[in-house]
Amino acid sequence: GFKTSLVDKIISVSRNLHNIKKFLLLWHWDCGGYGGSSAFASAEAEEEQYHKDLRAVRDILAKELPDDLEIIMAYSKATPQGLEYSVLE
């Protein structure tokens, strides 16, 4: 699994001190790790890749994290009005 002592500590401290029930996976648009938006053929292709990768990470985490911890997937995108967030089902 992906677990490390650091991940274990972060999750256990968050659950014990703050009684967290949700874990947020948040990607952001135009991510340099992907080469930025220009690395994609279109905005749709970029969005599809984020959806695919968020789901893959969620599936890995779901095997490692406690069953009662809800994993929420989202990404942010800068717009002229500010940041816009999209949550995946």
Look at residue 11 in the predicted model and tell me its pLDDT: 81
For 5-35, the pLDDT digits (tens) are 777 788 888 888 998 999 999 999 999 999 9
Cite the beta strand spans of 8-81 per DSSP E: 22-28, 70-79
Look at residue 65 in the predicted model and tell me its pLDDT: 84
| Paired strand residues for 22 | 70
Q: pTM here?
A: 0.82
5 falls within a domain: no
**And the tokens for 65?**
């994290």
- Into how many domains does the chain fold? 1
53 falls within a domain: yes
Q: What is the mean pLDDT of the chain?
A: 91
Burial class (CB within 10 angstroms; exposed 0-12, middle 13-18, buried 19+) of 76:
middle
Q: Which structural domain, as residue segments, surrounds residue 68?
A: 21-88
